[in-house]
Chain A
Amino acid sequence: MKQTYRVSIGLEVHIQLKTQTKLFCGCATSFGAPPNSCVCPVCLGYPGAMPVMNREAVRLTLVSGLMLGCSINTTSTFDRKSYFYPDMPKNYQITQYDKPLCLDGTIDIPLTDGGRKPIRLIRIHLEEDVAKSMHEAGWSGVDFNRAGTPLMEIVTHPDLSSADEAAAFLTALRQILLYVGVSACNLEEGNMRCDVNVSLRPPGQDTLGTKVELKNMNTISGTHDALQYEIERQSAVLDAGGRIVQETRRWDVDNGVTIHMRSKEDAHDYRYFAEPDLLPIVTPPDQIDAWRRSLPELPAVRRERLARQYDIPDYDAAVLAADRALADFFEAVAQRCGTGKTASNWIMTDVLRLVTAHETPVTACALTPDALGELIGLVEAQTINALTAKELLEEVFLSGGSPAEQVRSRGLAQVSDSGALDGWIDAVMQAHPKSVADWKAGKQAAAGFLIGQVMKASQGKADPKRVGRLLGERLAQQNG
């Protein structure tokens, strides 16, 4: 009999921190470098080599924890986790076991019904990444460039209850971490990977069902799809009266199925014990307070504030708040031009179009918030028309400079002077008698054509509204 089960999902998310160097040595953390070009005795686990803590990685982890509402262990220790694997240089991994840097915390995720749900975190700890095995026909190799890269692991309670929620969690987490700048969160480069625990139980059962672990998910959509598949698979097993066995599975993306990797019986005894080569990490409370004071708003909080403070639609606020740099840009423009709504309109349409077309984020383009505010001011004052403004925007986006200065030096100010406009209108009406006749016959399209011709004659500088009004007056005169 088919029935609905309660789904419990917990995540262990690995985030590569944005440091210049590895966790325990000075080697660069460069993605895509030739194999084994960023290695040294320390990250290769050579005899006699010793780890030295990268304090920046500690700071980034603690700042992440503060951002996620965690409590901070002012004294935190590192442990060795032992297991043999070809891509583990020392055959133990330096990680954190009983005294991680951060404990607890929550991430609010948006639900499809518009509500929000808090997902509780268990801990955040810091550990070193392993190397990467490469298998070719007839040989295998190991690239140790990645070995020793700092990873922050975020572990949740099994509070998620669907594949959608898991995807929403990862999206929200990614947004927050991008906000606080601790990771590039680049999925293609493996900056963000996760292991997923999922269990099903019949409604009314208090204890969690038998959990299955899905290893090494490296995209949000993959995590979603694997979970969707796994929930259906487990439901079918339970519907058929079967039992779920505790095991580790992996997602076969090509075939869209999860596959058995190992069973509970193969589980390792990791033999954790305190890493004797590293001293405990002691972070003074005043340092933690200083970091806490300098935290940015959470994206969700900012979204609500933007909508309220600038009176812009929720949708706009969500788009703007999703990217900290974009939101900063928006707020600066709004302050410069005095109107959030207009600033939002410009950014949501024209600026984002340029961002996409030129693959240049607002942080990297030549357009400053001041320049955009100035441009908006020029339009509002009807110094330039919308057409000129859009052309100017692209120029400034690519090359920078002041729009007002451009308007002055290039004579782009729109012409509203009746004398000049009359001249162009006369010329156009003489050149296009048929259109004038159509227009008189009531064809609105002809009016548009004639206005366009005047705009062309004026090289875009004519005030199109005024041109329309003058044309109307002419018609009235001729009819009269």
Chain B
Amino acid sequence: MDIGSLTVRAAIDGLRKRQFSSVELTRAVLDAIMARDGVIGAYLWVDEADALKQAAAADAARAGGSDGLLLGVPLAIKDILNVEGQPCTCASKILAGYRAPYDATVIARLREAGAVFAGRTNLDEFAMGSTTENSAIQLTRNPAAPDRVPGGSSGGSAAAVAGGMALAALGTDTGGSIRQPASNCGCVGLKPSYGRVSRYGLVAFASSLDQIGPMTRTVEDASLLLGVMGGRDPRDATTLDRAVPDYAAALGGDLTGLRLGLPKEYFVTGLDPEVARLVQDAVEACRRCGAEIVEVSLPHTEYAVATYYILASAEASTNLARFDGVRYGRRSAVPADTPLDMYLNTRAEGFGREVKRRIILGTYVLSSGYYDAYYTHAQRVRTLIRRDFDEAFKRCDALLTPVSPDPAYLIGATAEDPLKAYLIDIFTVTANLAGICGIAVPCGTTRAGLPVGLQVLAPAFEEGTLLRIGHAYEQAREARP
């Protein structure tokens, strides 16, 4: 068992065939973490005894005849999803000491399928950032180039998977936070359509944009996990009651009959030439697989980042209002005469710079006098961006784009320029604004050895198409010498 390249599919097969036990598999993952994570820093929390206990329980269940799809498969979880009894810090000091009192719905579903929750991965504080440098707890390095960031905000999950320390992980994607670090680290990252996967138990950053998705080594693994996680949840009113197809079973075949669009606004100046070349190569590979390639236009793309930051910050400013030191997490030890003083001290000490910046931005755009100029305006532009996609998807089945304009940055490169950092998500935020699904699939490395990803975007609830394209491309890429 080579844990560094083991897929979820292979692990399921190995466990079923009793080639190894869950305890052995989990032990191997824990050993990999022990061996490598000192340098990489992907994990915030690992409880070996607890993980092995879960694994032993899975082995016992299997011995007793149970056969959940993921029975005994260890997973890494972004530290923003509630797993009962485990810490959930959101990489923030304000949630220090908090242990989740309940399972997020996705966790409950994975648990039902037998998954083992091995550890919690680093992120930008409250998922706000594109480099994982905004974690208040630790630095995570890119396994492909340890002097570089893994991307963000699901950088810990991406680094764990790409760094051979997890078979698969869960991330969350509000503006590209699954796809962008997956691209930077060289793994597969899937952002499901809005409403496909329950957000119940995901600590909300921007409720109308957040989605939970798998980060894996292969497209097939992503489809396996999505099949378990997806579907309507009575606890999340924004999930839709649509059947969850057997995504994994529908993979395979070529791309004959599919028309793939290249949005011209995504292939313009500012795109790193090596990224451009690798993505073009990937487009050609898809063409060779039988797809027809057409050019399409998403004319409102240039407004996407501004729109995203207004809407996401507005929602975040209210979502994060609950962290006040009254009921859970950290409360400032500074004596306070009034509740307001206690809030101010707690939040001043508990939140990091980027989180404060966005709370202030969100509070500003929602305040009376500015609401129409910013928030209402942004909502209108969001509608236009949605329509762009509706129009584009009349002409094609899916879109092919870069994930990010650049490969992974050097650590510290964007730290002093928040606006530059915000532009990292320029190709990914539109999918969140439109509610459609997207996937990042590795499409090679730069001459310096930095991974680059191809993004495939498909209409809402067309994950099947997305995965089929990603899988076909992945096979074509693997087949090349």
| A contacts, CB < 8 Å to B | 41, 44-53, 80, 82, 84-86, 89-92, 142, 269, 271-273, 276-279
Q: Which 9 pairs across A and B sit closest by C-beta, in order of nearness?
A: A91-B321, A276-B207, A271-B366, A276-B208, A47-B203, A48-B201, A45-B322, A90-B322, A48-B82
Quote the shortest CB–CB distance from B16 to chain A (angstroms): 33
Contact B88 A50 (CB under 8 A): no
Q: Do A48 and B237 touch across chains, with their CB atoms under 8 A apart? A: no
Q: Which of B55-63, B94-102, B408-416 contacts A (4 or more CB under 8 A)?
A: B94-102
Min C-beta distance of A7 to chain B, whole Å? 30
CB neighbours of A276 from chain B (8 A): 206-208, 238, 315
Binding site secondary structure of chain A: loop
B326 touches A86 (CB 8 A): yes
**Chain A proximity mask over B229-270: 1 for CB below 8 Å, otherwise 0:** 000001111100000000000000000000000000000000
Contact B204 A89 (CB under 8 A): no
Interface pair A273/B375, CB less than 8 Å apart = yes
Q: Would you call B199 an interface residue if the criterion is a C-beta within 8 Å of the partner chain's C-beta atoms?
A: yes
- A419 to B235 CA separation, bound complex (whole angstroms): 81
Instruction: Determine if A84 and B321 form an interchain contact, defined as CB atoms under 8 angstroms apart.
Output: yes
In Å, the complex CA distance between A311 and B418 comes to: 81
A36 (CB) vs chain B CBs: closest residue: B327
B328 at the interface (CB under 8 A from A): yes
Contact yes or no, B235 A50, CB < 8 A:
yes
The docked-state distance in angstroms from the alpha carbon of A271 to that of B376 is: 12
Question: Given known contacts A46-B101, A48-B204, is B237 in contact with A278 (CB within 8 Å)?
Answer: yes
Beyond known contacts A46-B322, A271-B363, A273-B375: 15 more, CB 8 A cutoff:
A46-B101, A46-B328, A47-B82, A48-B81, A48-B88, A48-B102, A48-B201, A49-B201, A50-B200, A82-B318, A91-B321, A269-B368, A273-B314, A276-B208, A279-B238
Residues of A within 8 A of B66 (CB): none
Q: B206 to chain A: which residues have CB within 8 Å?
A: 276
B104 touches A (CB below 8 Å): yes
B60 to chain A, nearest CB (A): 30
Give the CA-CA distance A85 to B321 in the complex, in Å: 10
- Contact (Cβ within 8 A) A84 B343: yes
A52 to B321, CA, bound (A): 20
Residues of B within 8 A of A51 (CB): 237
Question: Is the Cβ of A48 less than 8 Å from the Cβ of B200?
Answer: yes
Within the assembled complex, what's the spacing in Å between the Cα atoms of A45 and B88? 15
B314-356 interface bits toward A, Cβ cutoff 8 Å, 1 = contact, 0 = none: 1101100111101110000000000110010000000000000
In the complex with contacts A41-B101, A46-B101, A89-B237 CB distance below 8 A: no
Contact sample, A vs B, 29 pairs, CB 8 Å cutoff: A46-B322, A46-B327, A46-B328, A47-B90, A47-B95, A47-B322, A47-B328, A48-B88, A48-B202, A49-B201, A50-B200, A50-B204, A50-B235, A51-B237, A82-B321, A84-B340, A84-B343, A90-B318, A91-B321, A91-B322, A92-B318, A269-B367, A271-B371, A272-B366, A273-B314, A273-B366, A276-B238, A276-B315, A277-B236
Chain A residues with Cβ under 8 A from B315's Cβ?
A: 276
Q: How far is the CA of A399 from the CA of B343 in the complex (A)?
A: 60
Residues of B within 8 A of A53 (CB): 237
| Min CB gap B22→A, angstroms | 27
> Which residues B72-87 have CB closer than 8 A to chain A?
81-82
Give per-residue flags for B99-133: 1 if the beta carbon is below 8 A from chain A beta carbons, else 0. 01110100000000000000000000000000000
| A85 vs B203: C-alpha distance when bound (angstroms) | 21
Least CB distance from B73 to A in Å reads 23
Q: Which residue of A lies closest to B240 (CB)?
A: A279
Contact between A50 and B199 (Cβ–Cβ < 8 Å)? yes
Shortest distance between the CB of B282 and any CB in chain A (Å): 34
A91 and B236 CA atoms in complex are apart in Å by 20
The distance in angstroms between the C-alpha atoms of A41 and B322, with both chains bound, is: 12
User: B293-319 interface mask toward A, CB cutoff 8 Å, 1 = contact, 0 = none?
Assistant: 000000000000000000000110110
The complex places the Cα of A52 from the Cα of B326 at a distance, in Å, of 24
* A276→B207 CA distance, assembly (Å): 6
Q: Kindly state the separation between the CA atoms of A271 and B319 in the bound complex, as whole angstroms.
A: 13
A84 and B375 alpha carbons, distance in the complex (Å): 21
Q: How far is the CB of A316 from chain B (nearest CB, A)?
A: 50
- Interface contact B98-A47, CB-CB below 8 Å: yes
Q: How far is the CB of B165 from chain A (nearest CB, A)?
A: 25
Q: Tell me if A277 and B202 are in contact (CB < 8 A).
A: no
Contact at A277–B367, with CB atoms within 8 Å?
A: no
Cβ contact within 8 Å between A84 and B207: no
Interface residues of B in 195-224 (CB under 8 A from A): 199-204, 206-208
From A41, A86, A271, A272, contact of B339 by CB (8 A): A86
